[in-house]
Structure 1
Amino acid sequence: MIIKKLILNNFRVFQGRHEITLMTNSHENKPIILFGGLNGSGKTSILLAVRLALYGKMAFKPLARQQEYVEWLSSMIYSNPTHTDNSTQASIELVFTYNQAGVESEFNIIRNWQSGSQDTLRLSRNGQPLTELSYEQSQGFLNGLIPSGVADLFFFDGEKIADLAEDETGLILPIAIRRLLGLDLIDKLHHDLIVFLKRHNVDNMDKQYQQQLTILEQEKHSDLTMAQQWCDEAALIKRDIDQLTIKINKQEHVLSTQGGAFALTKTQESEKAENLLREKESLEKMLRQEIDGLFPLALAPKILTQLLQQLTQESQVKQTLSFKKELDLFLAQLKVNTAQHPSSKQQMVYQAIEKQLIDYLNNKSSLTEILFDVSDTELGRYQHMITIESIKAQSRFQQTKARLSEVEVALENASLNIQRAPDEEQLLTIFAAIRELERSRQQQIELYKQRLEQARQALASAKHRALQMQKIHDHARTHFSLNNAVTYAQKLLPLLEQYSLALTTSRIKLLEKNFIAAYTRLNRKQHQYLSAKIDSKTFNIELTNQHGQLIHRHSLSAGEKQIYAIAILEALGKTSGRQLPIIIDTPLGRLDSEHRNKLINYYFPIVSHQVIILSTDTEIDQHDFRHDLHRYIAHSYQIVFDQQQHASHIKNGYL
């Protein structure tokens, strides 16, 4: 992925329209785009704009309800406290390229909103608007393209680095690694297969087994519900209500990523597809009727024009012959009259007239051979059919054909949307988790250790119930033949466990390798023989020196902890295999000069093909810019805040 352009319009401190070019120069090894500005000038707005364009509600601030999101968007519109006629709308446009299966496409995202209203989202690919996608479907498409969980490894600020460096709970890193390895998807597939097998077997069990399973399922559900309730109450001691809100938004993101937006419109798309099929049949019937009618006459205009000319000439010849017949009778009578009253002049005039008329008529009647001999009435009907009715039939045919093409395209889009929608059964677990978190947020907080013990007991009871249910299923399975799908599902369960273990082992080895490479490079001479071990269950990282002695993370200095956190983020990003830009906001604020120089020289120039740095003058000063980073910079910008206008603008050049 390469971000080509970012356009801000009345966003936060940026008044009016600001277009920022972010293309790098890979041929000259210049991957860095550097922004400089004082605190409060709008550096964080650049990072926030990219995340907001991509993820909307999931961008940054955890918001539980849609109304809070609308209020937050309203607060993002530029406002000058000294003016009363401020703008009431804002927008963000992001242009980037993305490579999928070796095919590179250019995407354009435009997200705009008005004060007090929901935002709108327009998405285009290679200049073609994806109008078949609704707002939720477009957001789900973006979430699938660049999952926010993976983007957290690439778009971050100094505070997130600090949180990872200071985390003593052991919760942040395991979540990131499980999401990175895709273990959460494997767990979901494992759960779905078990649900499928249980449903299949229950349908074939007798009432005794079904009754036992129903009771056990209810008891297990009760145990799990209580365990989740107690765990949430224990977590509330260390986490306030915003942390629970974060969990809700994460579940909503999972729902969106797995196709929740498409599932909501699946019924509508199915009805739409049925209507389109009926219209298609009607249009095809109309085309067949036109083909059976006068439309084929429009396919041979030259031949039919010649035919009309022939018929017209034949009509003229027949008129001439009729006239000649009458004229012959007249001349015969004239000749009789002339013979009764002979006169030399009269004879000469008669003979001259007779000769000229006969020559004229003979020449005219011989011009065209009579082939069809149609009447004047039939000739008129043929002329009307060829010159008028066939043209109308051709127009109707083309219009019907064009509409048929539109219907076929719409039918294809509706079919794609139906295919993208997952089964409702797959989303029930997510909906249940969201409801449980919302209920837990309203419950009273109880003692931490007591609730954990109660949760442990409830989980043990639920596990016991599940084992009893599994025994019943195993016993019932021996009495019924299983179809191929069930057989494959049964074989797949142990394979999933083996695959999960193998994937975890191989990727952790790669993660350890990438972490040591990054940490050693950034720490340089310190801990040259450092090694790392990542626990495959807890994903905790243990550092040891060349003597095999454990290096406790809490013994590291603040700067070393931040180097440690940056090395983790770099290792996670490389292990993910995603080619995404790095966007870092105030990365050096807590570092001393030694550690800052290490990042400037051994991290920024090589960490990615595109590195966007948002820095203050105390983090990257003129010396760093001119002597260390200048040869790696594709673009440098200065963000300047105007005190009189209460707005920032961007100009070329660093500080």
Structure 2
Amino acid sequence: MILKSLYLQDFGVFQGSFDENYVDLEPRTKYNKKRPIILFGGLNGAGKTTTLTAVRLALYGKQSLGRAVSVQAYHDFLLDSIHKPKGSVLKPNTAGVKLDFNFGRQGEVIDYTVKRVWTVRGNSVFESVEIYQNGEYLQNLTDQQKQSFLNELIPIGVADLFFFDGEKIAELADDSDNTALADAINRLLGLDIIDRLKADLGVYLRDQKRDQLPSDIKKEIETLEAEYQSLYAAYQAKLSDIDTLKIETTELEATKERLTQNINELGGAWASNKQEAEAKEQALRAKRNELQNQIRNLIADAAPLAFAKTQLEALLKQLSAEQQTKRQLVVQVELRKQLNKVQRSLLKSLGKEHQKAIEASITASMADSSASNNAADTEIIHDISDSEFNRLNHLITKVVPEQQARVKTLSTELESVEEELANVGLNLSRAPDERRISNFVTELAGLERTLGQRQVEVKLKTEEAKSTLRDAMDNLRKLRDKEKEFSSVSNLNQAVTLADRTRGLLEGFAVKTREQRIQQLEQEFIKSFAKLARKDDLMITAKIDPDTFNVSLVDGKGNIIDKKKLSAGEKQIYAIAMLEALGRTSGRNLPIIIDTPLGRLDSRHRENLVKNYFPTASHQVLILSTDTEVDEDFYKDLSPEISHAFEVAYDPEAGSSGYYEGYFWRH
């Protein structure tokens, strides 16, 4: 299958006709090589995801929104999808999507066009679907038959493996009860068709066997079946009631949203938080006063001395030198005393005839001592005591820097408080007079009460429906037991015998097929995960239980890994690897559309995905990305595989978006 062209008419943020919003999706050949990647770049909100939405909508209609979506919810979606022009009085009442693609069937490539257009008339939405095969309109098909035709071409369960976005990846990554994976595998393997065939054969067998039962037993069985049909019809009716309540709940929620928006436009969002804002303002004012007092106390103490840093350093240097000089003078005085004692002792011992020699020697020693300590270099100006010097030294080297840092911290905190006060004051000024919004608030309160009642009713009806379904199943079990009790006495003809054997054969076939395909899926997962994971990731393999579809991740040492403990990026890599493995196991040759795939990945996982997944994922790969996902470096890595690129750009003046060939920085 190749997606060839997509056309949009007043769809979402795209304004204008099909011809004005046309995008070429077919891979192009460059340098004798068909390149698979078509890259769409757009900022958030520009409308790039609309491409994926439009493709799915064109092919699957209501089913593109999910299985349990009501007609009313689908019509609401279509209504909301019609472009709303900026500043225009006349708004379009019609929108549509059109998709050209080709598909290989039985060795023949067939061109298809599906065109889906919807129009609003009053409060109703009218949708029309047209399908063209090789340019010829497929006539005599109802809308339901047209959708069945498209579903047969590309079943939506299989397409989910190829057209997926971040939500699909997250669903599979966080699939704790294996529901999403089991559904994908069943649809992938066609087991749902086998189950339907088994059910049809079961109906045939029951009808054939029942005709051969005694009349009284047959009547009893017919009574049980009538009771079952009645109970099941009651169950279906309750489901219908639930759907009606859900639709009403949806409408109430929409009304609530509109009413909330009206209140917000009148400043209600600010009014609802007014008391909280006033309390916060009072607390901030108290904190501001406390911070200001602390700063004042520091300024009244030693903190201002920090402005005279150079002078303080010079003073401390002078005081240190003076203290050193004073200590040296004390030493000299003490030394002189000791030398005088020595002189007297030498004179006494040697006699006065040696007096001159002794005095000369002592005088020379004193001169040497004075020359070595430079005692006369520093003039004593301040002459402070040692305790005074220690106090000043502590003040200058410790107290002043600490108080300076504290003033800086408190000032930063004060600036933050002042900014918060300004913001709170602005919010309080936005709060309206409560009398302006009181009627809206009263209406909103009543609406919320009604909404709460409907939600309770939905819960009660759901419980009633479950109870009715249990009664129906009990009745059906009695019916089957009764049929089984008398089935052995029936004389079965050859057709019944063959049908019975075929049913048993189908069960065995389903088991064998499931086991073989799951083994293939496990091997494909190992290949996919190995090329997407980082080198320092665990070597992970997967074991899938064929009965429960429980996935056990096993590391290289054989230890079971809890999926819940994987990081967000590892879960995403696991999910993408599983989606690729499912796609390859399906044997389908379909394009891949992937929306914003790199958001939760680190740089190494992103690099592996860009280099090892995108270029080989399929023969046609549509990547919808922001400029921070496929950036200039990744674009360069992908460029040998890029066929062409489009930028989805939003024009705020026009209030609409458009497709422009190129990619952010490349035009």
- Residue 8 of structure 2 aligns to a residue whose secondary structure is strand
Aligned position for 1:569? 579
**What's the CA shift for 1:6?**
0.8
Using the alignment, how far apart are the partners of 1:48 and 1:115 within structure 2?
A: 20
Using the alignment, how far apart are the partners of 1:139 and 1:596 within structure 2?
A: 38
Aligned equivalent of 2:96, options 69, 91, 113: 91
Asked if residue 617 in structure 1 is aligned to residue 622 in structure 2, the reply is no
The within-5 A match list for 1:275-294 is none
| 8 Å Cα contact 2:28/2:644 also seen in 1 | no
**What's the CA shift for 1:105?**
0.3
Alpha-carbon displacement from aligned partner over 1:277-307 (angstroms, at most 9, x marks no partner): xxxxxxxxxxxxxxxxxxxxxxxxxxxxxxx
Gaps of 5+ in 1: 234-239, 243-440
- Residue 10 of structure 2 aligns to a residue whose secondary structure is strand
Aligned position for 2:120? 115
Distance 1:187 1:649, change over 3 A: same
**What's the CA shift for 1:487?**
2.1
Distance 1:232 1:527, change over 3 A: farther
Asked if residue 54 in structure 1 is aligned to residue 59 in structure 2, the reply is yes
Asked if residue 635 in structure 1 is aligned to residue 644 in structure 2, the reply is yes
Asked if residue 132 in structure 1 is aligned to residue 137 in structure 2, the reply is no
The two structures have a TM-score, normalised by structure 2, of 0.62
Using the alignment, how far apart are the partners of 2:229 and 2:235 within structure 1?
A: 10
| 8 Å Cα contact 2:534/2:605 also seen in 1 | no
Whichever residue aligns with residue 167 of structure 2, its letter is E
Alpha-carbon displacement from aligned partner over 1:238-265 (angstroms, at most 9, x marks no partner): xx989xxxxxxxxxxxxxxxxxxxxxxx
- Residue 209 of structure 2 aligns to a residue whose secondary structure is helix
Distance 1:90 1:446, change over 3 A: closer
Using the alignment, how far apart are the partners of 1:224 and 1:547 within structure 2?
A: 52
Using the alignment, how far apart are the partners of 1:207 and 1:110 within structure 2?
A: 56
Distance 1:226 1:66, change over 3 A: closer
Gaps of 5+ in 2: 242-247, 251-453
Of residues 127-136 and 580-589 in structure 1, the stretch that sits farther from structure 2 once superposed is 127-136
Asked if residue 582 in structure 1 is aligned to residue 592 in structure 2, the reply is yes
Whichever residue aligns with residue 182 of structure 1, its letter is G
**What's the CA shift for 1:231?**
12
Distance 1:602 1:79, change over 3 A: same
Aligned position for 2:414? none
Aligned position for 1:652? 661
Aligned position for 1:188? 196
Whichever residue aligns with residue 647 of structure 1, its letter is S
- Residue 58 of structure 1 aligns to a residue whose secondary structure is helix
- Residue 8 of structure 1 aligns to a residue whose secondary structure is strand
Using the alignment, how far apart are the partners of 2:536 and 2:236 within structure 1?
A: 45
Whichever residue aligns with residue 609 of structure 1, its letter is H
| 8 Å Cα contact 1:73/1:115 also seen in 2 | no
Distance 1:137 1:468, change over 3 A: closer
**What's the CA shift for 1:147?**
1.2
Asked if residue 501 in structure 1 is aligned to residue 511 in structure 2, the reply is yes
**What's the CA shift for 1:538?**
0.8
Residue identity over aligned pairs, in percent, reads: 42
- Residue 11 of structure 1 aligns to a residue whose secondary structure is coil
- Residue 33 of structure 2 aligns to a residue whose secondary structure is coil
The within-5 A match list for 1:266-281 is none
Using the alignment, how far apart are the partners of 2:472 and 2:129 within structure 1?
A: 43
| 8 Å Cα contact 1:219/1:462 also seen in 2 | yes
| 8 Å Cα contact 2:522/2:542 also seen in 1 | yes
- Residue 92 of structure 2 aligns to a residue whose secondary structure is coil
**What's the CA shift for 1:454?**
7.8
| 8 Å Cα contact 2:65/2:74 also seen in 1 | no
Using the alignment, how far apart are the partners of 1:142 and 1:37 within structure 2?
A: 30
The two structures have a TM-score, normalised by structure 1, of 0.63
- Residue 115 of structure 1 aligns to a residue whose secondary structure is strand
Figure out how many residues of one structure are paired with residues of the other and give that number: 448
- Residue 649 of structure 1 aligns to a residue whose secondary structure is strand
**What's the CA shift for 1:29?**
4.7
Asked if residue 76 in structure 1 is aligned to residue 81 in structure 2, the reply is yes
- Residue 546 of structure 1 aligns to a residue whose secondary structure is coil
Whichever residue aligns with residue 544 of structure 2, its letter is I
Aligned position for 1:537? 547
Distance 1:189 1:544, change over 3 A: same
The within-5 A match list for 1:123-522 is 123-217=131-225, 461=474, 465=478, 468-477=481-490, 481-522=491-532
| 8 Å Cα contact 1:231/1:455 also seen in 2 | no
Whichever residue aligns with residue 620 of structure 2, its letter is Q
Whichever residue aligns with residue 645 of structure 2, its letter is S
Distance 1:459 1:63, change over 3 A: closer
Of residues 14-23 and 73-82 in structure 1, the stretch that sits farther from structure 2 once superposed is 73-82
Aligned position for 1:416? none
Aligned position for 2:258? none
Whichever residue aligns with residue 143 of structure 1, its letter is N
- Residue 489 of structure 2 aligns to a residue whose secondary structure is helix
| 8 Å Cα contact 1:37/1:638 also seen in 2 | yes
Whichever residue aligns with residue 186 of structure 1, its letter is I
Using the alignment, how far apart are the partners of 2:222 and 2:500 within structure 1?
A: 22
Whichever residue aligns with residue 545 of structure 2, its letter is D
Aligned position for 1:38? 43
Using the alignment, how far apart are the partners of 1:199 and 1:231 within structure 2?
A: 29
- Residue 184 of structure 1 aligns to a residue whose secondary structure is helix
- Residue 159 of structure 1 aligns to a residue whose secondary structure is helix
- Residue 587 of structure 1 aligns to a residue whose secondary structure is coil
Whichever residue aligns with residue 24 of structure 1, its letter is P
Q: CA RMSD in A?
A: 3.3
Distance 1:98 1:565, change over 3 A: same
Alpha-carbon displacement from aligned partner over 1:324-375 (angstroms, at most 9, x marks no partner): xxxxxxxxxxxxxxxxxxxxxxxxxxxxxxxxxxxxxxxxxxxxxxxxxxxx
Using the alignment, how far apart are the partners of 2:541 and 2:456 within structure 1?
A: 45
Distance 1:459 1:123, change over 3 A: closer
